[in-house]
Amino acid sequence: MRLVDPNIPFQVVYAVYHHQFLGYLISAHYVQLLPNGSLSLVHQGAYPEVMDQFDSGLDARDRELLQLTGEILPREIIKKYGGNPRAEADFFLSRFTEEISKLAQSYIQRRMARILPLLADRQVFEMGNDSYPAQRRLQVLEEKGTVLFHFRRREQDTQYFPTIKLRGEKINFQNKGAVLLCLEPAWMLLDGEIFTFEQAVEGLKLKPFLKRYNITIPKEKEAMYYERFITQIVERYHVFAKGFEIHTLRQRPTFALMVRDKDGRSFAFERQVRYGSYVLPLDDPTPVKAILNKQGNDFSFTRIERDLKEEQRILDILEPLTPNPNSLTTWGFVAKDEGLDWLSRHSPTLEREGIAIVQENPQYDLRRPELIMSTEESGDWFDIKAIVRIGKFEIPFLKFRTHILKHKREYTLPDGTVAILPEHWFSDYRHLMEVSEKRQDDTLSIRKYQAPLLHFPTHPNGQNGWVEALRKTDRIPEVAPPKGLQATLRNYQQEGFNWLCFMQQHGMGAILADDMGLGKTLQTLTLLLKELESGVETPSLVVLPTSLIHNWREEAQRFTPKLRVHVHVGINRLRDPRMFSPYHLILTTYGIVRQDLDMLRTFPFHYVILDESQMIKNPESKTARAVRQLVSRHRLSLTGTPIENTVMDIWSQMAFLNPGLLGNETFFKNFYVTPIEKEKDNNRSAKLRRIIYPFILRRKKHQVERELPPKVEHLHYCAMTDAQERLYEETRNTYRNYLMELITQGAWQKNKLNILTGLQKLRQIAIHPRMVEPEQYALDQSGKYKEVKRLLSQVIERKRSKVLIFSQFVKMLHLLRDDLEAEGIPFTYLDGSTKDRQEQVHRFQEDKKIRVFLISLKAGGVGLNLTAADYVFILDPWWNPAVENQAIDRSHRIGQKRTVFYYKFISEGTIEEKILNLQHRKAQLSDDIITVEEDIYKTLDAVDLEELLK
Residue 839 clears pLDDT 90, i.e. is over it: no
Banded pLDDT at 685 (limits 50, 70, 90): confident
pLDDT at 882: 60
Tell me, letter by letter, the H, E, C secondary structure of 60-112: HHHHHHHHHHHHCCHHHHHHHCCCCHHHHHHHHHHHCCHHHHHHHHHHHHHHH
- In this prediction, residue 362 carries a pLDDT of 61
Residue 512: count of CB within 10 angstroms of its CB: 29
- The pLDDT assigned to 861 comes to 54
**Amino acid 895: pLDDT:** 54
Is 909 in contact with 929 (CB distance < 8 Å)?
no
pLDDT at residue 330 tops 90: no
Supply the pLDDT for residue 2. 65
In this model, does residue 780 exceed pLDDT 60?
yes
Residue range 303-327: mean pLDDT, rounded:
87
Taking the C-alpha atoms of residue 454 and residue 465, their distance in angstroms, rounded to an integer, is 18
- Per-residue pLDDT for 135 more than 90? yes
CB burial of 683-712 (b: ≥16 within 10 Å; e: otherwise) equals ebeebbebbbebbbbebebeebeeebeebb
Domains, the chain: 10-140 (no CATH), 146-243 (no CATH), 249-362 (no CATH), 370-454 (no CATH), 466-706 (3.40.50.10810), 713-948 (3.40.50.300)
Please tell me the distance from the alpha carbon of residue 746 to that of residue 756, in angstroms, as a whole number: 17
Residues of the chain above pLDDT 70, percent: 87
What average pLDDT does this structure show over 395-410? 86
For 185-219, the pLDDT digits (tens) are 999 999 999 999 998 899 999 999 999 999 999 99
Work out the pLDDT band at 564, boundaries 50, 70, 90. Answer: very high
Which is it for strands 146-153 and 238-242: parallel, antiparallel or unpaired?
parallel
Q: For residues 38 and 530, what is the distance between their CA atoms, to the nearest angstrom?
A: 99
pLDDT at residue 748 greater than cutoff 90: no
Tell whether the model's pLDDT for residue 693 goes beyond 50: yes
- CA-derived radius of gyration, the chain: 39
Compute CA distances 862 → 259, 273, 603, 811, 893, whole Å.
72, 78, 55, 20, 12
Q: Residue 449: its pLDDT value, please? A: 33
Mean pLDDT within 376-386 = 75
Q: What Cα–Cα distance (Å) separates residue 929 from each residue in 398, 715, 809, 855, 878?
A: 75, 22, 10, 16, 8
**What pTM did the predictor assign?**
0.47
Instruction: Bin 276: left if φ > 0, else alpha if -120 < ψ < 50, else beta.
Output: left
Most confident of 363-372, 429-438, 581-590, 920-929: 581-590
